[in-house]
Structure 1
């Protein structure tokens, strides 16, 4: 079934409109502007192919939304929505001809050049959205002519020069988002006259000069975020203490001097960050709002003691005072607080001069107290403080906000069906909409206690039920900013109707959602239509001002309803027959036939596994159970048996047979055969005696792998994936690389397994052009999923590289990808950048050359880069691993060549694992590689000294 009945309404309506509209066309000057715009844009994905013919408003040009007929008899372009289409090139000056434009959105592309000053002629413009491109040059003064502008988003570009003083004329502006550019010069004091400005975000630029005291007069300002600029020698104006509407003040790393002003005149301040400056004096924050969630005054020169009032913040999540000159006693900040569920409090008081704390220091499990680097930690008579006196870095928790233990049969695969775990109808399969957003300036440090509030807030703004919103994941990023991926499900049905999809899309792309102040402003990263993409129009006439168009539309809709009803009945009959055929197929004895792969009978498999005896079970996954078996000729095998009646199992079953039957490589698990008989589907593989890499990295493993073994496993796994990407014909993207899918044979040779989710890589089209991705439903394992693939549903070979990078980080740290809400990629990257690489190395693997581990960590982080293009390709990954291996051989290290597996972990710690170790390791370090088949040529041969 390839279409959904009620989708036909929109499609048929468009046909009626095109047939009967006659002379109703788009203003010719605006058509000229769009054609000029397309000619200047590079469109490798051919997203704008619909712009080649027909009329923009009546031929459904992608991203073009129109008004209805005005008095001049024309349709007019109201919105240009080109979010995340992989466009490059430049914007043209002819944009000025779009005289009725309300929204210009080209966010998250690669458009370069300057921002055309002619945009200032589009006086109707309300939203100018240019974030996430490569715009350069200065901001045009002419933007100040946009009298109706509500939102200016130019963040994450390469814009330089000053902020024009003409921006003070934008009396309707509410949002200035100009962060992450190279904007320089003085903040214009003139902006203080803006009556409606809510958010001023200009962090991560090159601003200099002073902080305008006049900003305290802004009547509506809620967020002032100026982090990472250089206001060298200036102080925080005392008048900022009178900003009565302010909720968040963030001036981190701004080279500020002087003292902290009295902020008691800010009654609703809930987030304060003045860290990484040169502030002096005592902390004068006795009257900060009781609703404050975050106080960060770290890395200054503050002295005196912590105010006693710091025990009166019931909503506090993080207080960071580390790296100051504070003295006296550490107050029990939490003593008046209560904690529910996943609420937590981090108190970072490291590297000060505190000398005392309560002898009965026993904070709740929800409270983390960090005291390292204080005199009180040097007193050996207080053993109760040992756990608080270790150096630590605690990062915000990311993770999944919704979970369920509901067990459901897999959904149909003809559309992007999946079950909604929150639906009041158990196991209801539905097609969701995907939404990616980023909170740009949240007033919290820990999102978990606020998840319920966020869900209530967002669903009420979208007019949805709570169970229609499902969190996939939320991730903290530098800023700090909070990125999240959501799914919107239909209400107790399998599919949204077209009008509901259009309504929800307009809510996000039209910025019609205003989240509560706690969550601050957001930006839209993606609105993924998925299976709705081919049937939801991208341009829809609206608000007709003439009776003629109303008549046309009414006639169209009437005809559409009648025809839709007829087709719905036909398709429902077809769907019913389709399901009956599926059921008949699952009950039949028909069997798959694959050439050159042995077809086992059910009787043979029952005999091999002692009738699938529980004692023969090796494990269980989403597909089914795995058994150890012995074939009639004595061959040991692993038998993967699908769950009975599993449609998904059937799809993965066929996929894996098809792929493995023609893949032959030392580092890929071999397929021995299959069984497809009497509702039973089984795959039979070569037996891998040493199980999965996941088992050997577990904290419960009795014989942890040493560094050399881990490096060898990384290299062999990479070679297996390199074969898939470059030598398989056609190439294959694995899509589910993880430690539990890397198996180890009797000699600990690593082999990649489980190809049930694999996809064939793109092949050349008729013109010989190879697409750079495969568009597909997101599948894989949380923690290993490429965030770009998750965001765009565009699968590439670099998606495998990301997953492999996570495996490398597991090999290095011994940690899981997501543990206790912490993401391994973010944690390791943070410590690596701060020069603390060795603090995360798994101590169970014994000694190692420091330069090798540094290089290995660097490679892993590159593989896990958020941007696809920044990751290395598999040939480069393999080369880098071989360099590390050769580096091992070049260091002055004795390699133990013991052949007994039991002696693998006799490595003794040495100074080579210390960050202070020099580049050349001269000590004798025991690095055992027993079990390695060095004569195979897969690993370069090693000669013991």
Structure 2
């Protein structure tokens, strides 16, 4: 009896784990395939993406792949972010990025990726952050990017992108940050950008832009930074720029500008003005500048007149550069006399090479002030000698001053990569810091020491860490930009812990990568250069368990919970069993013991793993013929010469577990010439494999795309015959299968073609049984279920109501019909095939969208086929035809075909393996609408011309 109890425990435990697997979620198959294609487009010399072929992307935490922590309405996990920062990747950006349709952040910063920006990125309707800076991208900016409805930030700086700024960018109504500096953009800045209601930063410096400066930019209501340095503009600075009431920084250095300087007095918070190295002339206007002003650089122009008295008494001024002009008069000592300097504040006054005669007022210049008058008449006066030499070079580095010295700490007690935390209140606290490369792209000051402490407060507050946890060094870079090297230390916890836990690492990183640290008026926009994980953090990949569908901890918790539940359940079951006699136990056991052994049914063979391995030459890559979200498909050859297709579930494919059982259960009892036949399965060695008849001509989509493998295009007759065969297979599912079945994932890639181009419907992993009659004999009209399927093929009503009907399959098949007619994909560059064909149909231009590769075709037949396809794709379910009506209409169209195209040609009788005439086939078909025979020709091309493609 103890063996009995153990046996029951084992059954319950296995069933519990099966329930866990069945309830788990996986990444949407379309996105899995897209990620695999994206991986192939990259060159990865450091093998940073080595785990991209293991398990499920979201569940198995692929490097840089972050997913929503709950499934959406379709019960799949979806990629939310692609974070591939600084991984030394090269190659190109794949257009398949567009298939990650829920993605919000695309971050490939600081790699070596080349090629152009795929216009397909415009299809990512949820994209918020497009971060491509620091690569080797070329080509022009796709016009289509201007149609991203939720884009907050576009960063393409430091690439080799050329061409104009697309006019469509004026449609980016939610975009706040345009960072497009350091490229080769050319042409006029579109005045239409003034329509952008949220734009905060417009950084276009270091390009080849030309034309005039659009006065309309002054109408941008939220603009804080306008940085256009090093371009080639005509004319001058529009006076309207003085009306930018929110502006903090105006930088127009080296832009070949002419004319006067506008009055900027009406900008209340202006902190930084750089108009240097232009051809500006006239006098400097007497501007009442903001007390926030830190930098005024008007050097290398043709300015005349005197230095305005309004430049005096500015409490935060750090740099006033007026050198290489023709200014006259004197330098007023009020510029520095009315200020109180603290130990970190400095003021640089660079007045070289003008016509200044001296200093008005006292010449006692405090040590915090650097005044340079070299090249002015004032230097002929001996009393000015201290200001007429070459000024000392400014210090560009500053090490942070720790609050606690580590000089007395023993170096050998803190081996790398651990370091003594210089700011820790605990003496000689040895810890592992996070190493972060960080840069201020457009700071609002010229001298950092005065802002050092405020910056530390700003950053530690934004990161929600203690002030003493941060240590930094910095240096100025060309731009000017401020490069920083941050070290963030953990807090001494009192238990000897000297590293961050994983969740804290991920939290800090996500604050940087998702731009959740708020912008600051003084510090401007920032960028993350690198986030280095060394020592104890080395094995952490840039992802977050909280963002994946089910974390490893959660899975472990579920499994432990299942085991505990199984133990308790087995205890109750054992007590119950002890009260039953052995015979009754066996009866109950036979009824309750459900395992996959019960799937050994007639006509479906259970293969061994060794047979699968031998048939595929140990799953050699040369045998691979396809790949999807479930796994890979191999061509296999058994010992008896039988050629088969073997679908092998990939590791971690939890959704595949459901598909595995569903396909075996359904296909084992489906027998129709237009459905792919299931020959067997393998469930050994932890593997799940399904064995099908081999379809040597691949998918319908392969042929419509005309790939390298399938260069010949189908004639209209062949396309119509494929449509009819597919429709008959689905009609069988709806009306002849017992019980009836809704396929739920009809698409061109699930319609396969055999050696004679006979179409067969495949992939029943998402199929659902149709509703059956209740006790009163009433059959419900739908099945309520979570939405599953493929974007572009989904029935809109099913998507909105979750009510799956036979008309849902009709809609999907209608989309396939439109693909057959046009060759287009269901969704291309944000355009939906149903809408595009409808527009052409209503405007009388239907032949303009018909696939030209089809050759000549009978126009009347094509029109009727288009009409049928559009009826299938009606939004209102009741307006769609049934599958019986679809097959009937296709048969009618077939019989309308010219004699040479159809009836006088042979069709293929697959069941008997011989050719029979269409006429004899028709005569033996009692019910042509559910027959498994295909009426029609086996033509691939050579249709008699009746109309030229338009």
Correspondence 1:806-817 to 2 at 5 A: none
Q: 1:513 to 1:193 in 2, by over 3 A?
A: same
- For residues 698-722 of structure 1, give each alpha carbon's deviation from its aligned partner in whole angstroms, at most 9, with x where no partner exists: xxxxxxxxxxxxxxxxxxxxxxxxx
Give the C-alpha shift of residue 541 in structure 1.
Answer: 5.2
Equivalent residue number for residue 107 of structure 1: 109
Is the CA contact (8 Å cut-off) linking 2:299 and 2:321 kept in structure 1?
A: yes
Q: In the aligned structure 2, how far is the partner of 1:76 from the partner of 1:312?
A: 57
CA deviation vs aligned residue, 1:701-751 (integer Å, no higher than 9, x gap): xxxxxxxxxxxxxxxxxxxxxxxxxxxxxxxxxxxxxxxxxxxxxxxxxxx
Alignment of 1:924-935 (within 5 A): none
- How far does the alpha carbon of each residue in 1:43-81 deviate from its partner, in whole angstroms, 9 at most, with x for none? 111111111222111222111111132221211111111
Q: Paired residue for 1:355, among 350, 354, 357?
A: 357
Residue in structure 2 matched with residue 818 of structure 1 by the alignment: none
Contiguous gaps of at least 5 residues in structure 2 = 1-16, 564-950
Structure (1 or 2) with the larger CA radius of gyration:
2
Contact 1:114 1:138 in 2 (8 A): yes
- From 509, 524, 530, the equivalent of 1:526 is 530
Residues 655-711 of structure 1, C-alpha deviations (whole Å, 9 max, x = no match): xxxxxxxxxxxxxxxxxxxxxxxxxxxxxxxxxxxxxxxxxxxxxxxxxxxxxxxxx
Taking the aligned partners of 1:394 and 1:75, their CA distance within structure 2 comes to 56
User: How much does 1:362 deviate?
Assistant: 2.0
Shift of 1:555: 4.0
Residue of structure 2 aligned with 1:502, choices 492, 499, 506: 506
Any residues of structure 2 matched to 1:88-127 within 5 Å, and which? Answer: 88-127=90-129
- Once residues 220 and 247 of structure 1 are traced to their aligned partners in structure 2, the CA distance between those partners, rounded to angstroms, is 11
SS of residue paired to 1:240: helix
Residues paired across the two proteins, number:
539
Rounded to whole Å, the distance in 2 between the matches of 1:414 and 1:21 is: 48
Aligned to 1:216: 218
CA distance 1:532–1:20, shift in 2 (3 Å): farther
Query: Partners of 2:433 and 2:314 in 1: how far apart?
Result: 40
Judge which range, 390-399 or 234-243, deviates more: 390-399
Contact map agreement 1:544 1:550 (CA 8 A) in 2:
no
CA contact (8 A) 1:420 1:429 kept: yes
Question: Equivalent residue of 1:460, what SS?
Answer: helix
- Cα distance change of structure 1 residues 107 and 544 upon mapping to structure 2, 3 Å threshold: closer
CA distance in 2, matches of 1:163, 1:21: 50
Corresponding position: 1:193 with 2:224: no
TM-score (norm 1): 0.55
- Aligned-partner SS, 1:491: coil
Match of 1:326 in 2: 327
In the TM superposition, residue 393 of structure 1 has moved relative to its aligned partner by 6.9
What is the deviation of 1:391?
Answer: 3.2
Q: Distance in 2 between matches of 1:230 and 1:71?
A: 51
Aligned equivalents of 2:174, 2:140: Cα separation in 1: 22
Secondary structure of the residue aligned to 1:168 is helix
1:418 is the counterpart of 2:458: no
SS at match of 1:482: strand
Cα shift readout 1:773-816 (whole Å, capped 9, x = no counterpart):
xxxxxxxxxxxxxxxxxxxxxxxxxxxxxxxxxxxxxxxxxxxx
Q: Give the deviation of 1:415 after TM superposition.
A: 6.4
Mapped contact 2:58–2:548 kept (Cα < 8 A): no
Give how far 1:410 is off.
2.5
Query: CA 1:100/1:359 → structure 2, altered by over 3 Å: closer, same or farther?
Result: closer
Q: Which residue is 2:515 aligned to?
A: 511
Offset, 1:401: 2.6
* Bigger mean CA deviation after superposition, 28-37 or 267-276: 28-37
Match of 1:160 among 153, 157, 162: 162
Q: Secondary structure at the match of 1:475?
A: strand
Q: Using the alignment, how far apart are the partners of 1:120 and 1:442 within structure 2?
A: 31
> Match for residue 480 of structure 1?
480
Distance (Å, rounded) in 1 between the aligned partners of 2:22 and 2:545: 12
Q: CA deviation at 1:92?
A: 0.9
Distance 1:210 1:557 in 2: 69
Q: Which residue of 2 aligns with 1:670?
A: none
Aligned partner of residue 111 in structure 1, secondary structure: coil
Question: Root-mean-square deviation (CA), in Å?
Answer: 2.4
Q: Superposed, which structure 2 residues align to 1:858-897 within 5 Å?
A: none
Aligned to 2:246: 245
Going from structure 1 to structure 2, the CA distance change for 1:392 and 1:559 (only over 3 Å counts) comes to farther
Say if 2:269 and 2:292, in contact at 8 Å, map to a contact too. yes
In 1, Cα distance between the equivalents of 2:236 and 2:507?
A: 48
1:491 Cα offset (Å) = 1.7
Per-residue displacement from partner, 1:408-459 (whole Å, max 9, x unpaired)? 1226567621111111111111111111111000000000110100011111
CA distance in 2 between counterparts of 1:526 and 1:534 reads 14
Aligned match of 2:388? 389
- Conservation of the 8 A alpha-carbon contact between 1:439 and 1:519: yes
Question: Is this contact kept in 2: 1:57–1:539, CA < 8 A?
Answer: no
Match in the other structure for 1:400: 399
The 3 A distance-change label for structure 1 pair 329 and 99 is same
1:538-557 mapped onto 2 (5 Å cutoff): 538-540=542-544, 542=546, 552=555, 554-555=557-558
Shift in CA distance, 393/192, structure 1 to aligned 2, threshold 3 Å = farther
Q: Is the 8 A contact 2:20 2:562 kept in 1?
A: no
Which residue of 1 is the match for residue 442 of structure 2? Answer: 441
| Closer, same or farther: CA 396–264 of 1 in aligned 2, 3 Å | farther
- Which residue of the partner structure matches residue 835 of structure 1? none
Match of 2:594 in 1: none
Map of 1:11 onto structure 2? none
Deviation at 1:405, TM superposition (A): 3.3
Q: CA deviation at 1:517?
A: 1.1
For 1:58 and 1:411, the matched residues in 2 are separated by 41
For residues 58-77 of structure 1, the aligned pairs below 5 Å read: 58-67=59-68, 68-77=70-79
- Counterpart of 2:370 in structure 1 is 368
